[in-house]
Structure 1
């Protein structure tokens, strides 16, 4: 199984499940959802009996397969859902394909299981390249198979805004598309494809995605990245910018100086956006507000903004950024959601104590955030940025750099042993990031995520990957084949997955990490220079 359970013990008896298997008990819906395709039916007594056990945690379960059928005890709906996912992995790979009938042998086992971390996440950047609703629903299904439970959607950046706003319609009418897209490799002169790119999710789409995710025990975490990365927003509503000048939706990659104003009208604008997001998604305990790679030059140059900063009793532009993000976090708290930020926002200081920090620049800054009492989700570039190539090979598709390997991900520790017990206690979990500057389509998403996300799932659920992970992964790939996942083969890309012949020298992960480590030793550093 992937991820590996806490305990798996073979039993002598076995059982044969058939299509149309009956499910009875307390949490039937969760099991039926997990076994979709096998057409399970409810019944007064059935081959699968599922019962709630209040002594177990919400995501914990016990699964027993014997001659009389399948018994599941679960702490809550999530536990029953994950028990059924484990049961699915006991069946042949063909059970993951749609079938009009059949029977499936199940070995006798006893499984006792619960996750090590509550936050087991994947991040998908839909701002740089848009992926339609069908791809998000498919990704949620794949996450559910692997017991991943947080889908972080990066909904806005300089290159596009990706959600309908009925209060501010120019966001989806103007900011959701750009006339062309940069196609150059990292550090090459810029070249463009001259093909318009765009798209956005309607609020109805967002409501559907939220409900679909909840049915599969996944929470969508929307991100509205502010106050930087604001070119797309300011293409639609320049009045919310620090200078008032209109920007274009950016067609190239990198950091833009475009920045929102911190003045009250901008806070009101963003609060309205939050209301629309939360109203559409439904139960949304987290909203990511970014805070990364902010260029504060326009704030420093504005007499109006400087006067406002002084009226608040703040000494520097960094202090004003911290105040701005805290004001947004306060607005979210009033609406029942916790703010999540990238680590530059923590470095700026002044966060609400309940704000969750994602230390992308390394676990050193993550430890500082945990020591300061903030909950942390481990997100370091190395080894959790899946926009990096999986190998230092000329065959690998275009990437920002190389290499972050499958074994690198499997070896990662979200709560390092050298941290204090209190610091480790603030680690909510772990999340991999897929930035999409060089991920133009769903086939490339598959290639970048899988099977590295299998290793992520193992670390997030079990706490670490065991020595037998490579062998279990080799067997698991048959399930991905049945599910139609175009993953990267363990021995390298297939011919149609290879990059074009030209390959300039790429940036190495070790080079990037050396620069990031140097930056994070300085508390005043709020943006990278890589």
Structure 2
């Protein structure tokens, strides 16, 4: 009997250990590394997790699950003896012990090999945020210490076995920089972005701030703004006064003869400085041009060149789109971005505030949108939060995964933007990319139904009986709103009404709203009873694909009724159909004449859709050129493992936004999505922009998607200085070099010099300094000598020959060096901040 009791106690003890182990929360460590891209000759990657037991106890053979996020789909099944891999949803995966796993002894490690689609060539591709959940405590996750082993070998860095271009080398960078040279400061253009007309008289003008600013009453806000700006330059207050006569340092004068909402004239001459405009926006942009003529700091007075400027933008719509949904960015960071946008005359902030991974703005009456949709954490049912994404981990305290703007926050952002003549356009992503809202409204419905509320489903966005099977680009299985539910449109009307109310309270009326339309996957709605009922009852709807037009017609009616223009992603102006038995997307003629504005992102070079923006503009849509190949700032700067960002649409360095030709984008396209030279044959047969289509090109937009952006520092690194190239192309007149490209290198050299010599120092001081990217040095060996150069003339290359990291005190490169041993080169800005070091061995 005693033996039976002993055996029973041992069994119960083992069971308890498996179900509720007294295992240290920090007892595990995981490492991950790429083994081989192009594994087995396919577009897939073999990589390895190493699970290490650092505790003094054995990891049990069962009773736990490890979760992690990864942006690549992983093949399911056994990945180590007794360990099974599976996909949960989106970018969330799991590793779970099954029969055959014997546990992990103290100090032992386990290799877990996984195969994922595509390739992994940048450090930001790596998995993130692993955590363990014990079966005995299923609602609680425990973070696991995690490290990524950098890729260094060719088989780790190539995309496929046939890939001939593995990484951007220092020699590649050197060749790209060879057309650049340091120009004398006096030869640089005075103002960025380039004005329509600027005339220099050769003389100079002394600006004495003690003479103050005089202004017409309508320009009081702009005068106050200029006063603060000048006070920072001169280190003392600058007085303002109404009126335009008498002695003054700067006059702000209303001139009704200046047409154009943002046009201005700037005169810097002996009797003072005068800015003329018919609008407040025009005066504001004149102030920004004056700012570029001022020194960053001055004592007493400042000497300026005598100039006359007559200016107006090329495009009325000059936008920066910031994704705060995938990973959240604080109100303070948004205000910082508004400041830098205003300096370079970017007049629109497109806030992507909802997506599958987050809802980021408070909506009165629907608190679940932020309290559930704005939080990410380990969850059993997503009734309190969304599941982890992009490595946000098991706890809701992760600042990138959890966060939202309160009503007061959003109104403050709107007012701050308005003071800088920037329009904020909110985006409510739909019908795809709608998972945060869908799950929040499901949780709301469940809570109210439990309480017996007959209106529990009033704002529900999903059909509970929908058995449709689909998979979005980001691997979500349940992220599309249902177009057949009246509650979907009630939700849309509620959200747009509340957003409009906040804009009205901020004094920034909402006259245009972005309603998504991006990447709705095939297969949606096919097995939704609600959708099938709608199709059966409607004489106009014959196929599930017709629901797309039905949906956006209803959305248009909602927003148009509130006095807003409808704005969306390119797919909102397209529809699915079949050609030769294949599913294709074509321009939808139904909305072309309804003042429907579209962001067109798909210009992946070599991808086949390079002409989409022109097809849509020729079809009557108002088009914002938002092409990934030139203006997606989440794309890595270059093909280098240590550069953060994506690269599916190509690599976007500072030159890409600059060399873009809006009305003839084929002409100066230089490389494909892999960074290889682009053959001219790519554009054979592509639609060209008609004169009518050109009239529908309303502007240019740059965008930062935030999947790999989890901090203010990373945000600024990805955006700056690339934003300056976009600002130049959106504001400045069409440059002469676009006609035959002969003058391009000269124009690029001037622009690079302006950025390096003048704008980098400005960004280093503005708002305490921005974390702009400092380029890597170009390096090559020639005739036994080592040569180095830099993309932004005016920055300083420093080097070491002893293998140590170059510092701000290391020797400055001034000419060819002896090619011996290990040399390390690092570029520094004028303030002494350094970029990433490159190492060469000769």
Cα distance in structure 1, aligned partners of 2:211 and 2:222: 16
Counterpart for residue 22 of structure 1: 213
1:121 corresponds, among 319, 328, 335, to: 319
CA contact (8 A) 2:776 2:835 kept: no
Counterpart for residue 269 of structure 1: 491
Counterpart for residue 616 of structure 2: 369
Deviation for aligned residue 1:289: 0.5
Query: Could you list the per-position Cα deviations for residues 324-378 of structure 1 after superposition, in whole angstroms to 9, with x for gaps in the alignment?
Result: 1121122111111111111111112333611101111125121121111111100
Q: Evaluate the alpha carbon distance shift between residue 424 and residue 199 of structure 1 in structure 2; reply closer, same or farther with a 3 A threshold.
A: same
Instruction: Tell whether 2:754 aligns with 1:472.
Output: yes
Q: Secondary structure at the match of 1:290?
A: coil
CA contact (8 A) 1:120 1:457 kept: yes
Counterpart for residue 426 of structure 1: 696
Counterpart for residue 254 of structure 2: 52
2:366 corresponds, among 145, 148, 168, to: 168
Q: Secondary structure at the match of 1:383?
A: helix
Cα distance in structure 2, aligned partners of 1:245 and 1:205: 38
Instruction: Tell whether 2:519 aligns with 1:293.
Output: yes
Instruction: Tell whether 2:390 aligns with 1:204.
Output: no
Counterpart for residue 406 of structure 1: 654
Counterpart for residue 525 of structure 1: none
Instruction: Tell whether 2:762 aligns with 1:490.
Output: no
Which one scores higher on RCO, CA 8 angstroms, separation ≥ 6?
Answer: 1
Q: Secondary structure at the match of 1:93?
A: coil
CA contact (8 A) 1:73 1:80 kept: yes
Counterpart for residue 508 of structure 1: none
User: Is the strand fraction higher in 1 or 2?
Assistant: 2
Q: Evaluate the alpha carbon distance shift between residue 234 and residue 167 of structure 1 in structure 2; reply closer, same or farther with a 3 A threshold.
A: same
Q: Secondary structure at the match of 1:38?
A: helix
Counterpart for residue 480 of structure 2: 259
Instruction: Tell whether 2:664 aligns with 1:416.
Output: yes
Counterpart for residue 341 of structure 2: 143
Q: Secondary structure at the match of 2:229?
A: coil
Counterpart for residue 481 of structure 1: 764
Cα distance in structure 1, aligned partners of 2:392 and 2:409: 31
Counterpart for residue 503 of structure 1: none
Cα distance in structure 1, aligned partners of 2:422 and 2:476: 33
Deviation for aligned residue 1:22: 2.0
Q: Evaluate the alpha carbon distance shift between residue 42 and residue 182 of structure 1 in structure 2; reply closer, same or farther with a 3 A threshold.
A: same
Q: Evaluate the alpha carbon distance shift between residue 458 and residue 79 of structure 1 in structure 2; reply closer, same or farther with a 3 A threshold.
A: same
Counterpart for residue 456 of structure 1: 726
Counterpart for residue 287 of structure 2: 84
Q: Secondary structure at the match of 2:228?
A: coil
Cα distance in structure 1, aligned partners of 2:690 and 2:645: 40
Counterpart for residue 178 of structure 1: 376
Cα distance in structure 2, aligned partners of 1:192 and 1:69: 55
Deviation for aligned residue 1:498: 5.8
2:628 corresponds, among 381, 384, 393, to: 381
Cα distance in structure 1, aligned partners of 2:501 and 2:429: 19
Deviation for aligned residue 1:35: 5.1
CA contact (8 A) 2:463 2:530 kept: no
Deviation for aligned residue 1:41: 3.0
Query: Could you list the per-position Cα deviations for residues 242-268 of structure 1 after superposition, in whole angstroms to 9, with x for gaps in the alignment?
Result: 33289xxxxx99142321121211101
1:343 corresponds, among 555, 561, 570, to: 570
Cα distance in structure 2, aligned partners of 1:161 and 1:463: 38
Q: Evaluate the alpha carbon distance shift between residue 47 and residue 204 of structure 1 in structure 2; reply closer, same or farther with a 3 A threshold.
A: same
Cα distance in structure 2, aligned partners of 1:459 and 1:93: 25
CA contact (8 A) 2:204 2:303 kept: no
Q: Evaluate the alpha carbon distance shift between residue 223 and residue 334 of structure 1 in structure 2; reply closer, same or farther with a 3 A threshold.
A: same
CA contact (8 A) 1:182 1:253 kept: no
Q: Secondary structure at the match of 2:320?
A: strand
CA contact (8 A) 1:229 1:255 kept: no
Instruction: Tell whether 2:267 aligns with 1:64.
Output: yes
Counterpart for residue 517 of structure 1: none
Root-mean-square deviation (Å)? 2.5
CA contact (8 A) 1:228 1:295 kept: yes
Q: Evaluate the alpha carbon distance shift between residue 278 and residue 496 of structure 1 in structure 2; reply closer, same or farther with a 3 A threshold.
A: farther
Deviates more, 1:197-206 or 1:400-409: 400-409
1:305 corresponds, among 516, 520, 531, to: 531
CA contact (8 A) 1:23 1:42 kept: yes
Q: Evaluate the alpha carbon distance shift between residue 219 and residue 255 of structure 1 in structure 2; reply closer, same or farther with a 3 A threshold.
A: farther
Query: Could you list the per-position Cα deviations for residues 82-124 of structure 1 after superposition, in whole angstroms to 9, with x for gaps in the alignment?
Result: 00000011011237xxxxx853332211111110000000000
Deviation for aligned residue 1:37: 3.4
Q: Evaluate the alpha carbon distance shift between residue 225 and residue 432 of structure 1 in structure 2; reply closer, same or farther with a 3 A threshold.
A: same
Q: Secondary structure at the match of 2:281?
A: helix
> Which ranges in structure 1 are unaligned for 5 or more consecutive residues?
96-100, 184-190, 247-251, 500-530
Count how many residue pairs are aligned between Structure 1 and Structure 2. 483
CA contact (8 A) 1:61 1:73 kept: yes
CA contact (8 A) 2:348 2:423 kept: yes
Counterpart for residue 783 of structure 2: none
Cα distance in structure 2, aligned partners of 1:175 and 1:253: 20
CA contact (8 A) 2:209 2:249 kept: no
Deviation for aligned residue 1:67: 1.5
Cα distance in structure 2, aligned partners of 1:42 and 1:81: 16
CA contact (8 A) 1:35 1:84 kept: no
Cα distance in structure 2, aligned partners of 1:490 and 1:318: 47
Q: Structure 1-normalised TM-score?
A: 0.85
CA contact (8 A) 2:600 2:627 kept: yes
Instruction: Tell whether 2:199 aligns with 1:9.
Output: yes
Q: Structure 2-normalised TM-score?
A: 0.55
